Amino acid sequence: MKHFQTSSFFSIIFSVVGMVIMLTSSTANANSNSNSSNNCAEVIQNHSRWIQTPATEPGKTNAVFFKLAINKIKTPNTYNATSNVNVNGQGQVSFAEGSMRVIDGNNGLQAKANQLFSDRLSALGRYTPPVQPFALYQADYLELMLNSNGTANLTLVSRGNTVVPINQMSCTVNAFGTFITGFIEDGEGAGVISLTLHNGT
């Protein structure tokens, strides 16, 4: 049975917008940031060690929290010479968040979460048409795997446990946390991944 998160609609919108903007800025700034690193294996292992390290505050345990946004184009892009505009290229943005756990016998990380979609709408009231994106009760379920060797993949549980690798991964670390970008193709389109990791308790 799915367990739906209770994050407010506006919190989701702000998170998705911020992470999509980050896609264009974090990669451009990576080379100029002295704290940046493309060694994703080391980055993932460091977060795994954080979880396994005893928390300094009594009664607490260390945790790694994530936010995941995928900006996807679902149909091939074509050019209409008559109207001088691009057609098709219809897509969606999806969002998921939660906390990671350490993979047994490995320094990798794993998480399971609900995935909300910008093109799945819900009604704002009982007698109103569906207009609000990221409908809570139309979520899919996914699994995020960050391997200790620096690779990663998504398992689309709601779509028959389809495994989708995250390609061209880039990992950047600064004082705010970890920023991971990459690309996916899942049979329904292609998209850019924006993933943030943040150590906490």
In a domain, 3, yes or no: no
The Cα 64–Cα 29 span in angstroms is 24
pTM, two decimals, is: 0.76
| pLDDT per residue as tens digits for the range 43-67 | 999 999 999 999 999 999 999 999 9
196 located within any domain: yes
**pLDDT given at position 35:** 40
In the predicted model, what is the mean pLDDT of the chain? 81
Q: Is residue 49 part of a domain?
A: yes
Task: Report the distance separating Cα 112 and Cα 154, nearest Å.
Answer: 10
Amino acid at residue number 97: E
Phi, psi (degrees; rounded to nearest 5) at 32: -95, -5
Beta bridge pairs of residue 63: 200
Q: What percent of the chain has pLDDT over 70?
A: 74
The total number of structural domains in the chain stands at 1
Is the model's pLDDT at 11 over the cut of 60?
no
Q: What is the pLDDT of residues 135-189, one digit of tens each?
A: 999 999 999 999 999 999 999 999 999 999 999 999 999 999 999 999 999 888 8
- Across the chain, how many H-helices and E-strands are there? 2, 14
Structural domain harbouring 15: 9-200
- Residue 2: inside a domain: no
Confidence of residue 132 (pLDDT cuts 50, 70, 90): confident
